[in-house]
Amino acid sequence: MPERRAKLSRGVSASSLRERLSSLSSTPLKPVAASLQANIEFVPSKVPTKRRIQTLAVFTWSSTMFICCALFLYLCSFPPLWPVLATYMFWVLVIDKSPVTGGRSSQWFRGMRFWRYFSEYYPASFVKEQDLPADRPYVFGYHPHGIIGMGALATFATDATGFSKEFPGITPHLLTLETNFRTPFYRDILMWMGICSVSKDSCQNILGQGSGSAITIVVGGAAESLSARPGTADLTLRKRLGFIKVAIREGADLVPVFSFGENDIYQQMPNQKGTSVHALQKKFQNVFGFTLPLFHGRGLLNYNLGLLPYRRRIVSVIGRPIHVNRSANPTMEEVTRVQKLYIQELERIWNKYKDEFAKTRLREMKIIE
pLDDT in tens, 34-54: 444 558 888 898 999 999 999
The rounded percent of the chain whose pLDDT value lies above 70 is: 89
CB 197 within 8 A of CB 96: no
Which residues have CB under 8 Å from 118's CB, separation 6+? 54, 57, 58, 61, 154, 158, 160
Mark residue 278 as left, alpha or beta (left: phi above 0; alpha: psi -120 to 50; beta: remaining): alpha
Q: With a cut of 70, say whether residue 26 has pLDDT above it.
A: no
- The CA distances from residue 101 to 108, 174, 176, 240, 358, in Å, are 20, 13, 14, 23, 38
Q: Residue 56 falls within a domain, yes or no?
A: yes
Q: Residue 40 falls within a domain, yes or no?
A: no
State the total domains in the chain: 1
Gap between the Cα atoms of 195 and 192, Å rounded: 7
Q: With a cut of 70, say whether residue 344 has pLDDT above it.
A: yes
State the pLDDT at residue 244: 97
Q: With a cut of 80, say whether residue 7 has pLDDT above it.
A: no
- pLDDT tens readout for residues 212-255: 999 999 999 888 888 899 999 999 999 999 999 999 999 999 99
Beta strands in 205-282 (DSSP E): 213-218, 234-235, 253-260, 267-268
Q: With a cut of 80, say whether residue 361 has pLDDT above it.
A: yes
Q: With a cut of 80, say whether residue 98 has pLDDT above it.
A: yes
CA angle 136, 139, 144 (to 5 degrees): 155
| CATH number for the domain harbouring residue 181 | 3.40.1130
**Average pLDDT value for the chain:** 88
Q: Residue 1 falls within a domain, yes or no?
A: no
**More reliable by pLDDT, 77 or 41:** 77
Q: Residue 115 falls within a domain, yes or no?
A: yes
Structural domain harbouring 361:
49-367
State the average pLDDT over residues 171-185: 94
State the average pLDDT over residues 280-286: 77
Kindly state the greatest CA–CA separation across the chain.
Answer: 102
Q: With a cut of 90, say whether residue 15 has pLDDT above it.
A: no
State the average pLDDT over residues 92-109: 94
Q: Residue 19 falls within a domain, yes or no?
A: no
State the pLDDT at residue 286: 75
Q: Residue 2 falls within a domain, yes or no?
A: no
Q: What is the pTM of this model?
A: 0.86
Q: Residue 24 falls within a domain, yes or no?
A: no
State the pLDDT at residue 225: 86
State the pLDDT at residue 112: 97
Q: Residue 122 falls within a domain, yes or no?
A: yes
